[in-house]
Amino acid sequence: MDTFQNKVVWITGASSGIGEAIAMAFAKEGAKLVLTARRKEELERVKQRTGLPDSSVMIVPLDVTEFDKANDAAAQIIAKFQRIDIMVHNAGVSQRSYIKDTDLDVYRKLMDINFYSTVALTKAVLPYMTKQKSGHFIIISSVAGKIGTIMRSGYNASKHALHGFYDSLRAETYNDNIKVTTVCPGYIKTNVSLNALDEKGGKFGKMDSNQENGIAPEECARQILNAVKKDKKEIYIGGFKEVAAIYLKRFLPDLLFDQVRKNIPE
């Protein structure tokens, strides 16, 4: 894909962080945007920031865990734009709690938000992409989708699940010219740790120092768009430490395990 001019891009989790940065990056490239999150007022703010006319941007407020609303949301977009070219699965929540302390409902919530919501929305969008014989899914996973770390067991599991599902989707839809790019960010300077779930499902409410010192969301978005243009299947974005950990997992897994178990979170 050489250009995003007039491409219809649906972004979940578009009200802040990486999602907002992706929205701004696509807007600068001339795309038409569909912005989804729970907070309508924040979506309105992002819409204003894009500078796009009403004819080129649409707000679809949605709690992505309301799976039965996915088809209606997709139909609204088709009614306005007649197509969906790119689906960005960015909505998600992290976790900060030990397995022994974590309620089962917290694990269910993590899987509903981070995994099952993407499945529901993908199944809603897929018929339109199949009909138009083109489309691109951008999956915001994480380095945690490759590595299991302390106090993030449910988050890790939900992100690992994305890789299995979307690797299968990429293979199944190849002949329909539907592509998948899975993105594994490391530490990005967002509020992800502040909003992470604790052992009872409340907000963790603390900023991790690694997150505070992470790369800017705008740089993350720039790398994502470049990867999509090149039809990259999977990319890693972050500092040396996070990206190196992925390669250690592949080639020196015992060494990585020793490092992970010693890395007690703050």
Q: What is the pLDDT of residues 10-52, one digit of tens each?
A: 999 999 999 999 999 999 999 999 999 999 999 999 999 999 9
The whole-model pTM stands at 0.94
Edge-to-edge strands, sheet with 135-140: 57-59, 32-36, 8-12, 86-89, 135-140, 178-185, 234-237
At 240 the pLDDT is 87
Which CATH superfamily hosts domain 8-241?
A: NAD(P)-binding Rossmann-like Domain (3.40.50.720)
State the catalytic residue, choosing from 107, 128, 155, 187: 155
Q: Which of 60, 11, 61 is nearest to 31 (CA)?
A: 11
Say whether 133 sits in a helix, a strand or coil.
coil
Query: How far apart are the two ends of the chain, measured CA to CA in Å?
Result: 42
pLDDT of amino acid 85 = 98
Confidence of residue 211 (pLDDT cuts 50, 70, 90): confident
For the record, the structure tokens of 204 come out as 């963790």
Question: What is the rounded average pLDDT of the residues 201-206?
Answer: 91
**What local confidence, expressed as pLDDT, does residue 227 receive?**
98
Predicted confidence at residue 265, as pLDDT, reads 63
pLDDT digits (tens, 9 = 90+) for 119-139: 999 999 999 999 999 999 999
pLDDT at 266: 55
Share of the chain above pLDDT 90, in %: 84
Instruction: Encode pLDDT of 2-16 as tens digits.
Output: 789 999 999 999 999
Q: What is the mean pLDDT of residues 160-185?
A: 98
The domains of the chain are located at 8-241
User: Does the pLDDT of residue 222 top 90, yes or no?
Assistant: yes
**Greatest distance between any 2 Cα atoms in the chain:** 54
Q: Which two tokens stand for residue 191?
A: 């509020």
Whole-number Cα distances in Å, 10 to 61, 135, 136, 190, 250: 12, 11, 11, 21, 33
155 counts as catalytic: yes
